[in-house]
Amino acid sequence: MIPEMLDRARDAGVTASYVLMDSWFTHAPLVKEVVGRGLHAIGMVKADNKHYQVGVQRLSLQELYYAATPMKRKNKGVLRSIRTELAGIPITMVFVRHRSKKKEWLAILCTDLSLTEEEIIQTYGIRWDIEVFFKCTKSLLRLQKEFQGRSYDLLISHTTIVFSRYIVLVWQHRQSTYERSLGGLFLALCDEVSELDWAIALHQLFELITDIAKKTSKKISTFIQNQLQRWISGLPSYIKAYLPNVYCES
């Protein structure tokens, strides 16, 4: 059903570069279907009966780990990586440290060979937001529990209502706690940028007048400096802070 779901999503105008999967779905037939649709697959891999082609060898996931090249970078979470094939599909397999079981590792498959190991891990990490979403909708918003029925339209309607609730709650949460969505912060930054542009323009004008004064006779230069000093002395203090001190020559 997943290939059909992908087709429906694309027909509805949804665009994507990657299909993220957990270990229940990362198998060769589905990976082939994803790649055949012009997408890339990134997914966790189980240590089951799958075999990977490395040269003339067909290796299990455990054997592939020991054949992979150990990483020498600062990121201690990335242990090894290797280019291999799964059922004729070129892939990169990245082995990362298991956070809760330090002596064990996890394997992440990626069909996009242009990505670095860090980019593969970061992209796969987006799946956690999806897991949190499903947890909230099922546990807190009563998806599958509030209504029960055999009508397909009922299921679609109920799911749409639950997802709409989630969207509203997330929007309210971001409006009150998420700094990127604070309108006042955005306006303050805009004002600061505008003030900075104004201060730079005023400073450039001051430097231009000072430069002209230096190129004239001493009498005219002194006159310009005096007039400039009188003008600055009459300005508000917050404007004076943006201008350098003026010293008149006698």
Q: What is the pLDDT of residue 201?
A: 73
Mean per-residue pLDDT, 240-244:
68
Q: What is the pLDDT of residues 2-47, one digit of tens each?
A: 899 999 989 999 888 999 998 888 899 999 999 999 999 999 998 8
Residues 160 and 174 in one domain: yes
DSSP tag of 71: P
Please check whether residue 188 lies inside any domain of the structure.
yes
**Domain assignment present for 214:** yes
Burial track 182-218 (b if 16+ CB lie within 10 A, e otherwise): eeeeeeeeeeeeeeeeeeeeeeeebeebeeebeeeee
Instruction: Give the orientation angle of helix 2-11 with respect to helix 28-36, to 10 degrees.
Output: 20
Q: What is the CATH number of the domain that holds 117?
A: 3.90.350.10
- Does residue 74 sit within a domain? yes
Q: Are residues 117 and 28 in the same domain?
A: yes
Do 11 and 107 share a domain, yes or no? yes
- Residue 190 maps to a domain: yes
Confidence label for 187 from pLDDT (cuts 50, 70 and 90)? low
The verdict on 44 and 109 lying in the same domain is yes
* C-alpha to C-alpha distance for 113 and 93, rounded to whole angstroms: 10
Tokens of 241: 């802070």
Pick from 79, 109, 125: which residue ends a domain? 125
What pLDDT is recorded for position 20? 93
Domain boundary among 91, 109, 125: 125
Give the pLDDT of residue 245. Answer: 59
Evaluate whether 110 touches 116 at the Cβ level (below 8 Å).
no
Same domain, 110 and 154: no
112/227 same-domain check: no
Q: Do 137 and 160 share a domain, yes or no?
A: yes
The per-residue pLDDT of the chain, averaged, comes to 82
Only one residue has tokens 């002596």, namely: 103
Residues 98 and 171 reside in one and the same domain: no
- What average pLDDT does the segment 169-175 reach? 81
- Whether 120 and 92 have beta carbons less than 8 Å apart is answered as yes
The answer as to whether 249 is a domain residue is no
Residue at which a domain ends, from 179, 201, 217: 179
Let me know if residue 218 belongs to a domain.
yes
For 224-238, the pLDDT digits (tens) are 888 888 887 877 777
Question: Which pLDDT score is estimated for 69?
Answer: 85
- The structure tokens 């004729």 sit at 88
Q: Assign 242 a pLDDT band (cuts: 50, 70, 90).
A: low
Write the pLDDT tens digit of every residue in 101-155. 878 899 999 999 999 988 999 899 888 888 888 888 888 888 878 777 788 888 8
Q: What is the mean predicted confidence (pLDDT) over 205-215?
A: 80
Residue 206 resides in a domain: yes
Note whether 242 and 199 are within 8 A (CB).
yes
Q: Are residues 159 and 204 in the same domain?
A: no
The answer on pLDDT for 97 being more than 70 is yes
Query: Residue 142 belongs to what domain range?
Result: 132-179
Note whether residue 246 is domain-resident. no
For residue 248, the model assigns a pLDDT of: 44
> Do residue 60 and residue 149 come from a single domain?
no
Domains of the chain: total: 3
- Please indicate, yes or no, whether residues 11 and 70 belong to a single structural domain of this protein: yes
Q: Do 109 and 13 belong together in one domain?
A: yes
